[in-house]
Amino acid sequence: MPERDTAELVDLARNGDQDAWRALVDRYAGLVWTVARSVRLEPADAADVSQTTWLILAENLGALRDSARLAAWLATTARREALRVAAVRGRETPPRWWTPSPTGAERDPGPGPEDHAVAADRAGALWRAFVGLPERCQQILRYLAFAPELTYPQIARAIGMPVGSLGPTRTRCLAELRRKVLAAGVLEEAAG
Amino acid sequence: MRQRWHDTDLALLAEVAGLFEARDPAPAQVVADATAALPLVAGQSDVDRFTLCADSAGDPDQAVEPGRDGSCPPDADSPADADAGCGGGLLLRGTRPTARILGFTLADVVRLDVWLGPAVRGRRAVLGLVGPVRPASAVVVRWPRGRLRAPVDEVGRFRLSGVPVGPVSFLLHQPGATAAATDWFVS
């Protein structure tokens, strides 16, 4: 299927077009997953939140008021459900919050071919810079990384912060990330 | 209010996305379940929709994320909170759940309360109350790979057992009325 815009895919999916639905999933599965994980849910709970979010969407496609804003709708819906699950699970069993390792060591790709070493260093340095950011920064950049089309009001609503502070915070977070990766001496081209 | 981007910002964010896709990607089963969602609910759009009006898990819009500062999201266990927006809870008033209580309303006329018991080996018992009562009503709980049906008794109660942890939705079937469904939520 050629690249279609989100609103067009939603319209097709409303009429049962499974290819269009699959294209929406391909486009936004990562966003829904990262929203659930950003609330620090265990993978099994994040999987339930993801599936629930897509089921809600599937049943409400006809009622979606602005299909072009699907990314915001998904982020808001997934975060609400993730927070509810986090609250309930916190009462049922002590949570083991998922926290990225400061070094990322437990999920590093491990020794690889020599020509992958530089890329691994770059990724490792960026990861360490990212997890060194304040949590609010991580959250904002994580949402934007998966859906740059999200507007300030959409992100503010999704993560529950005042819209007025979103822009300056985003700018500060990006600058801080860039400063950290430059300090590490890698990622020059991405860091500008 | 659309943000302005510099190419370097977008490049940096693309690298961040790439990091998460490499280190914590959406598992293949998660993507498969998402893909299966549309056919799973096909043909079930001609139902009325319940509105969630009370949830003992709290209001996510007001929540403080757990673990960030050691606090918990607001608790709707207290009668005042639990009844908010529900026009008077049937099941919620005066109870303290060990798991979760949800209240749903349909046009402020029909009320559905469900009490999700503690999970035992991945399954829960569910107690519920429907009001007003109509004879021969039934409640169905559905999940991605199954469903259970329970009759509603003469005072509006129903009971289900073996409901799996994970996505569920409840449907109320009443004679002479369109079926009504809750949104999906994680039980």
Domain architecture of chain A: domains with CATH: 6-92 (1.10.1740.10), 105-191 (1.10.10.10)
pLDDT for A181: 85
Whether B111 and B90 have beta carbons less than 8 Å apart is answered as yes
Q: What are B147-183's pLDDT values in tens digits?
A: 999 999 999 999 999 999 999 999 999 999 999 999 9
Of A172 and A112, the structure prediction assigns the larger pLDDT to A172
Task: Write out the residue limits of the CATH 2.60.40.10 domain(s) in chain B.
Answer: 47-186
pLDDT for residue A22: 97
Residue pair B133/B155 in contact (Cβ under 8 Å)? The answer is: yes
User: What CA–CA distance (Å, rounded) separates A68 from A75?
Assistant: 13
Mean pLDDT of chain B: 80
Is the per-residue pLDDT at A17 higher than 80? yes
Asked if B34 lies within 8 A of A29 by C-beta distance, the reply is yes
Nearest by CB to residue B27, choosing from A47, A144, A190, is: A47
Four-residue CA torsion sign, A165, A171, A172, A176? positive
Looking at residue B154, its pLDDT comes to 94
Which of A78-92, A97-111, B15-29 shows the lowest mean pLDDT across its residues? Answer: A97-111
Considering only CA atoms, which of A92, A42, A93, A75 is closest in space to residue A153? A75
DSSP H or E run through B140:
strand B138-143
Q: State the pLDDT confidence band at A122, using cuts at 50, 70 and 90.
A: confident
The predicted-structure confidence for A25-75, as pLDDT tens digits, reads as follows 999 999 999 999 988 898 999 999 999 999 999 999 988 888 878 999 999
A148 vs B10: CB contact, 8 Å cut-off?
yes
B47-186 folds as: Immunoglobulin-like (2.60.40)
Q: How far is B116 from A95, CA to CA, in rounded Å?
A: 19
ipTM above threshold 0.85: no
| Buried b or exposed e, range A133-166, using 16+ CB within 10 angstroms | beeebbbbbbbbbbbeebbbebbbbbbbeeeeeb
Cβ–Cβ gap A83/B60 under 8 Å: yes
- CA distance readout (Å), B55 to A2, B97, B186: 43, 11, 12
Q: Shortest CB distance from B15 goes to which of A46, A90, A187?
A: A187
Q: Are A55 and B169 in contact (CB under 8 A)?
A: yes
Average pLDDT for B18-32: 91
β-bridge mates for residue B129, sequence order: B113, B157
